[in-house]
Amino acid sequence: MKIAVSAMGGSMSALVSEQFGRCAYLLIVDSENMEFEPVSNPAAGMSGGAGPEAVRLIAAKGAEVVLTGRVGPNAENALKAAGIRAVVGISGSKTVRQAVEEHLKASIR
């Protein structure tokens, strides 16, 4: 399963970005083998509509879940339309790797 994570940088050791639509990077992590693809978020600097654009991006990358701090109302509707589940409330003090591992552990339980 592919998991998208909003992040401050383009690696697994980067900290999670608590904002979704305007995060610097979106990491697309494959939960099978922890391989990841960093995507510099083109929506970060948009004047409006950043949330839906970030959703379109992660949907195109095949993400089924997104881990982030919080999503705005537009992003929330876009995630619903794209059929992507949002897991919010992830702290910005965690690394992307920690966030993904904790999510996987919680999902197994």
49: contact with another protein by CB under 8 A: yes
59: contact with another protein by CB under 8 A: yes
8: contact with another protein by CB under 8 A: no
- Among 8, 46, 87, 104, the residue binding another protein under the rule CB under 8 A is 46
Q: d(Cα 29, Cα 63) in Å, to the nearest integer?
A: 8
CB of 50 to another protein, least distance (A): 8
How many residues form the binding site for another protein (CB under 8 A)?
15
What is the per-residue DSSP string for 49-107?
-HHHHHHHHHHHTT-SEEE-SB--HHHHHHHHHHT-EEE----TTSBHHHHHHHHHHHH
CB of 43 to another protein, least distance (A): 9
